[in-house]
Chains A and B, each alone.
Chain A
Amino acid sequence: MKMSYREALREALREALRNDPRVFLMGEDVGKYGGAYAVSKGFLEEFGPERIRDTPLAELGFTGAGVGAACGGLRPIVEIMTVNFSLLALDQIVNTAALLRHMSGGQFSVPLVIRMATGAGRQLAAQHSHSLENWYAHVPGIRVLAPATIADARGMLAPALADPDPVVIFEHAQLYNLEDECPADWRCDIARAAIRRPGDQVSLLTYGGSLPKTLLAAEELARDGVAAEVIDLRVLRPLDMAAIAASVQKTHRAVIVDEGWKTGSLAGEIVARLVEECFYDLDAAPRRVCSEEVPMPYAKHLEDAALPQPAKIVAAVKEMLSA
Chain B
Amino acid sequence: MNPVPYDKPFACRLLADMLRIRRLEEKCAELYGAGKIRGFLHLYIGEEACAVGSLHALAPEDNIVATYREHGHALVRGVSMNVIMAEMYGKAAGCSRGRGGSMHLFDAATRFFGGNAIVAGGLPFSAGLALADKMRGRSGVTACFFGDGAVAEGAFHEAMNLAALWKLPVLFCCENNFYGMGTALERAESQTDLCLKAESYAMRAVKVDGMDIVAVHEATREAAGYVRTEGKPCFVEYQTYRYRAHSMFDPELYRDKAEVEKWKERGPLHNYSARLKAEGKLTEDEFLALDAAAQAEVADSVAFAEAADWEPVADLLRDVHTPGGAS
Query: Does A105 lie within 8 Å of B95, measured CB to CB?
Result: yes
**B327 an interface residue at 8 Å Cβ cutoff?**
yes
Would you call A68 and B322 a contact (CB within 8 A)?
no
Q: Does residue B102 face the partner (Cβ distance < 8 Å to A)? A: no
In the complex, per-residue mask of B257-296: 1 if CB is within 8 Å of any chain A CB, else 0: 0000000000000000000000000000000000000000
The answer to whether the Cβ of B106 comes within 8 Å of any Cβ in the partner chain is yes
| Interchain CB contact under 8 A, A63 and B124 | yes
Any B CB within 8 A of the CB of A11: no
Asked if residues B100 and A164 are in contact (CB atoms below 8 Å), the reply is no
Interface string of B121-133 (1 = CB under 8 A from A): 1011111111111
CB distance from B228 to the nearest CB of A (A): 16
Set of chain B residues within 8 Å of A165, measured between Cβ atoms:
321-322, 325
Partner of B320, one of A56, A74, A141, A190: A141
Q: Does B253 sit at the interface, judged by CB under 8 A?
A: no
Q: Given the known A-B contacts A61-B127, A65-B128, A72-B128, are A105 and B322 also in contact in the complex, defined by CB atoms under 8 Å?
A: no
Q: Does the CB pair A74–B135 fall under 8 Å?
A: yes
In the assembled complex, which residues on chain A have CB atoms less than 8 Å from the CB atom of B127?
61, 64-65, 68
Per the 8 Å Cβ criterion, residues 61-99 of A in contact with B are: 61-74, 76, 91-92, 95-96
- A74 to B128, alpha carbons, bound, how many Å? 9
**Chain B residue nearest to A57 in the complex (CB):** B158
Are B321 and A69 in contact, CB atoms less than 8 angstroms apart?
no
Tell me whether A58 and B158 are in contact (CB under 8 A). Answer: yes
Spot the interface stretch: B14-22, B24-32, B108-116, B302-310. Answer: B108-116
The minimal Cβ–Cβ distance linking B100 to chain A, given in whole angstroms, is 5
B165 → A minimal CB distance (Å): 7
Contacts of A182-212 to chain B: CB distance below 8 A: 189-191
Q: Across the interface, do B124 and A104 meet the contact criterion of CB distance under 8 Å? A: no
Q: A191: which of B123, B320, B326 is its contact (CB, 8 Å)? A: B326
Q: Would A108 and B99 be within 8 Å (CB), given that A24-B135, A74-B132, A159-B326 are in contact?
A: no
Q: Which of B129-146 contact A (CB under 8 A)?
A: 129-133, 135-136, 142
B-side interface size class: 35 or more
Q: Chain A: interface residue count, which band?
A: 35 or more
A264 at interface, CB cutoff 8 A = no
Query: With A61-B124, A105-B99 in contact, is A191–B327 under 8 Å at CB?
Result: yes
Contact present for B114 and A56 (CB under 8 Å)? no
Which of A71, A74, A102, A143 is the one whose CB lies under 8 Å from B125?
A71
What's the least CB distance linking A16 to chain B, in Å?
16
B237 interfacial by beta-carbon distance below 8 Å = no
Is B104 close to A, CB under 8 A? yes
Judge whether B98 is part of the interface by a CB distance below 8 angstroms: yes
Q: What's the least CB distance linking B243 to chain A, in Å?
A: 28
Cβ-closest chain A residue relative to B104: A103
Contact in complex: A72, B96 (CB < 8 Å)? no
Q: Is A163 in contact with chain B by the CB < 8 A criterion?
A: yes
Can you list, as one digit per residue, whether each of B155-166 has a CB less than 8 Å from chain A (1) or not (0)? 100110110011
Bound together, the chains give a CA A126 to CA B136 distance in angstroms of: 41
Smallest CB–CB gap between A21 and chain B, Å?
Answer: 9
Is B94 part of the binding interface, using a Cβ–Cβ cutoff of 8 Å? yes
Complexed CA–CA distance, A60 and B320 (Å): 23
Asked if B96 and A107 sit within 8 Å, CB to CB, the answer is: yes
What is the 8 Å Cβ interface bit string for chain A, positions 102-137, against chain B (1 contact, 0 not)? 111111110000000000000000000000000000
Bound together, the chains give a CA A76 to CA B154 distance in angstroms of 22
**B131→A60 contact, CB < 8 A:** no
Residues of A within 8 A of B107 (CB): 107
Give, as a whole number of angstroms, the nearest-CB distance from A95 to chain B.
Answer: 5
A61 touches B159 (CB 8 A): yes
- A101-B124 in contact given A108-B108, A143-B326 (Cβ < 8 Å): no
Residues from chain A with a CB closer than 8 A to the CB of B124 are 60-65, 67-68, 92
Per the bound structure, the CA–CA distance linking A269 and B326 in Å amounts to 22
The docked-state distance in angstroms from the alpha carbon of A24 to that of B121 is: 23
Closest Cβ of chain A to B251, distance in Å, is 28
Q: How far is the CA of A138 from the CA of B154 in the complex (A)?
A: 25
Complex Cα gap A140–B63 (Å): 27
Chain B nearest CB from A190 CB (Å) reads 5
Which chain B positions have C-beta within 8 A of A55?
A: 162
Tell me the minimal C-beta distance from A290 to chain B in angstroms: 28
Are A96 and B121 in contact (CB-based, < 8 A)?
A: yes
Q: Are A69 and B325 in contact (CB under 8 A)?
A: no
Q: Which residues of A contact B324 (CB under 8 A)?
A: 164
Asked if B319 is an interface residue, CB under 8 A from chain A, the answer is yes
> What is the bound-complex CA distance between A74 and B138, given in angstroms?
12
Asked if A50 is an interface residue, CB under 8 A from chain B, the answer is yes
Known contacts A65-B162, A102-B319, A141-B320; A70 and B99 CB within 8 A of each other: no
Contacts of A92 in B (CB 8 A): 121, 124-125, 155
Are B125 and A96 within 8 A (Cβ)?
A: yes
B residues with a Cβ closer than 8 A to A are 63, 94-100, 104, 106-108, 113-116, 118, 121, 123-133, 135-136, 142, 154-155, 158-159, 161-162, 165-166, 318-322, 324-327
The 3 closest A-B pairs by CB, nearest first: A68-B128, A64-B124, A72-B132
18 interchain pairs (CB within 8 A)?
A56-B158, A58-B158, A61-B124, A61-B158, A61-B162, A62-B162, A64-B123, A64-B128, A64-B158, A65-B124, A71-B129, A72-B130, A74-B131, A95-B118, A102-B99, A104-B96, A104-B106, A190-B326
A-side residues, CB < 8 A to B, are 24, 50, 53, 55-56, 58, 60-74, 76, 91-92, 95-96, 100-109, 140-141, 143, 159, 162-165, 189-191
